[in-house]
Amino acid sequence: MTRPLDGITVVALEQAVAAPFATRQLAELGARVIKIERPKVGDFARHYDTTVNGMSSHFVWCNHSKESLTLNVKQPEAKEILDRLLSGADVFIQNFGPGAIDRLGFGIDVLKEKYPQLIICSISGYGENGPYREKKAYDLLVQCEAGLVSVTGSEDVPSKVGISVADIAAGMYAYTGILSALIARSKTGKGSVLEISMLEALGEWMGFPLYYTKYSGTEPKRNGASHATIYPYGPFRTGGGKTVFLAIQNEREWVAFCEQVMQRPQLAADPRFATNSDRLANNRELQAMIDEVFSQLTAEEAIARLEQAKIANARLNTVQDFWEHPQLAARNRWRQVDSPVGPVPSLLPPVTMEGVEPFMGPIPEVGQHNYKILTECGYAEDTIRAWEEAGVL
């Protein structure tokens, strides 16, 4: 089976989440991803936890379908190997600290001159210049700097998003940027230089609160799981103690909600709730009315009414519930990938492409592909063994 990126080679000097998340998706499309790791210990994300039969959950998530090569990139021999790999590569991606790649002798200007065909992608916390260039950037801290934490959580307690959303945002823009650069290269024959910062990637996702704040003069309020500017849109408890989420998007839905879910058709004409702005301004009174009705219903009964009225709704699933979600099972979205500790399940990538089965290859051990990659580069096995003993690999 052919895949869109068959024949593309990616060399990744990567660690943690952002770059590995991007390159895993390139690998699923058929690219050969050579992941360069530290000798013996590897990517430090391998050691975040040991929950997946001894492996880190972050590492398992971001690193199937890759080949692992260990290099001590400060050693001259390792730099020679990296140089040889880049001469035949299509993409080079790195997310080391600010200036680290320059100190190794692989700065942007050097790479552009030596490898004109190469697409060079750098991911950083705050960008390659500016006063925050040297500032350490971890996901929570970037969420804070981007204002995301200020609009997330309850009225009293600001909260981080429960997943590494700044890393994910940067990884997604690196992934799509590299795909765009490959298309551009097919037209011009030349590589590109891409720069992605976690702050700016997450800043793009902050568009609604940015515009709302700029032009209203007020910050969006933290409302827990409720929407800041639409009502009713959020959680409501039912008589059985379970929580049901619902979302009203327009006046047609509001009328249907009043008639079929609340079974109070006169409520649709109440001037206190005539528009979304009115409902938001009088949300306490409206919530009391909804709570009164929902307290007499089980979660199943409330959802049945919402479904009949074609009102968007959801159950409050746990992560375990999502793992067992019937929609994922019905659509056959799970696959098994091999790993050093045996097969582990992995979700298929979200984009389903007709006639293309994503590559769902193994999760590599540290340095598992040293001999394979280096012999392909023309190095003799005794040379490779000597490098291992000397700490080059």
Residues 170-199, mean pLDDT to the nearest whole number: 97
Token reading at 16? 């943690």
- Amino acid 355: pLDDT: 93
CB atoms within 10 A of CB 114: 12
| Catalytic residue of the set 47, 58, 64, 227 | 227
Contact yes or no for 209/151 (Cβ under 8 A): yes
Whether pLDDT at 255 is above 80: yes
Rounded to whole angstroms, the Cα distance separating 17 from 118 reads 23
Over range 200-227, report the average pLDDT. 93
Count CB-CB contacts under 10 A for residue 51. Answer: 11
Known catalytic residue at 47: no
Q: Which amino acid is at 246?
A: L
d(CA 351, CA 358): 9
pLDDT recorded at residue 1? 75
Most distant CA atoms of the chain, gap in Å: 85
CA distance 386 to 186: 40
pLDDT above 90 (res 228)? no
Is residue 10 scored above 80 in pLDDT?
Answer: yes
Rounded distance between C-alpha atoms, residue 376 and residue 42, angstroms: 22
- Domain locations in the chain as residue ranges: 9-205+326-390, 233-316
The pTM of the full predicted model, rounded to 2 decimals, is 0.92
Beta bridge partners of residue 313, listed in sequence order? 246
pLDDT per position as a tens digit, 116-161: 999 999 999 999 999 999 999 999 999 999 999 999 999 999 999 9
**β 243-247/233-237 pair status:** antiparallel
Residue 124: what pLDDT?
96
Per cent of the chain over pLDDT 70 is 100
How many other C-beta atoms can be found within 10 angstroms of the C-beta atom of residue 134? 11
Bridge partners of 122, per DSSP, are 94, 195
pLDDT value for 111: 95
Q: What percent of the chain has pLDDT over 90?
A: 95
Tell me, letter by letter, the H, E, C secondary structure of 87-103. Answer: HCCCEEEECCCCCHHHH
Q: Which of 95, 105, 104 is nearest to 128 (CA)?
A: 95
Give the model's pLDDT for residue 240.
83
Residue type (1 letter), 222: R
Question: How many CB atoms within 10 Å of residue 377?
Answer: 15
DSSP symbol at 158: B
The mean per-residue pLDDT over the stretch 162-182 comes to: 98
* Tokens (6 digits) for 131: 């006063």
Report the relative pairing of strands 32-37 and 193-197 from DSSP bridges.
unpaired
- CATH fold of the domain at 9-205+326-390: Rossmann fold (3.40.50)
What is the pLDDT, as a whole number, of residue 235?
95
Q: Which of 315, 290, 287 is nearest to 303 (CA)?
A: 315
Query: What confidence score (pLDDT) does residue 229 get?
Result: 86
- Contacts of the segment 267-270: beta carbons below 8 A, 24+ positions apart: none
pLDDT per position as a tens digit, 46-105 = 999 999 999 999 999 999 999 999 999 999 999 999 999 999 999 999 999 888 999 999
Q: Does the pLDDT value for residue 221 go beyond 90?
A: no
Q: What is residue 323's predicted lDDT score, i.e. its pLDDT?
A: 96
Question: What DSSP designation does 271 have?
Answer: G
Do residues 323 and 346 touch, judged by C-beta distance below 8 A?
no
Report yes or no: 159 and 80 within 8 Å, Cβ to Cβ: no
Q: What fold is seen in the domain 233-316?
A: formyl-coa transferase, domain 3 (3.30.1540)
What is the structure's pLDDT at 97? 86
Q: What tokens were used for 39?
A: 């000798």
Structure-token pair, residue 170: 């940067």
E strand or H helix that includes residue 67: strand 67-70
Q: Are 173 and 201 in contact (CB under 8 A)?
A: yes
Mean predicted confidence (pLDDT) in 194-218: 96
d(CA 41, CA 61): 18
